[in-house]
Copies of this chain bind each other. A is one copy, B any other.
Amino acid sequence: MLKRSQVKKVQERAAELYARASIVLTPSEKANIEIAEFGLGDLERQGLELVVYVNIDRYCAKELALFPSQTCPEHKHPSEENKPGKMETFRCRWGKVWLYIEGEPVGQLKAMVPKGSEAYYTVFHEVELLPGQQYTILPNTLHWFQSGPEGAIISEFSSTNTDENDSFTDPRIKRMPEIIED
């Protein structure tokens, strides 16, 4: 849970990161950057700063910002009533990202699993994404990702987005942001 004043500060930091990556946002988009802190109260280590460009019944596109060494926690997009789960393509635009998915685990991880949350990180097949590189994540596949020391910007192209149906490994997580007005 974040206070409105905190959200505003984080939005400003995220807007700076987007600008550094030459991603142009409108004033309204900047003022509405979604701050996902996942209900964990540890935004610097586990969090994500998103701009949803379009989300309709046929496709979705977002821009994701990660502050330095910030992690989006492990989750998957399960099927929903006769519909396959969300499928998504991550394209690194700026910075560096380590993406972990189901599959052969790497020996020594380049990312650092967030301390105190080790039990909720279970897939370790490593994919490094540098600017211009991309990877498509199949539906219903566990994944998590972390930025390198400078942070990262990722374009996400996907099927229709239903964040509220994301299934996180960490049962403490609440995906939908809760903001206290202050």
- Chain A residues in the interface with B (C-beta under 8 A): 21-26, 29, 53-54, 56, 58-61, 87, 89, 91, 93-94, 131-134, 136, 155, 157-159
Across the interface, do B132 and A54 meet the contact criterion of CB distance under 8 Å? no
Q: Closest residue of chain B to A21, judged by CB?
A: B22
Q: Closest residue of chain B to A26, judged by CB?
A: B132
Cβ 8 A contact of A54, one of B23, B54, B94, B157: B157
Across the interface, do A58 and B22 meet the contact criterion of CB distance under 8 Å? no
Looking at A23, A29, A59, A159, the one whose CB has the most chain B CB atoms below 10 A away is A59
Contacts of A93 in B (CB 8 A): 23-24
Known: A24-B132, A26-B133, A132-B25. A53 touches B158 (CB 8 A): no
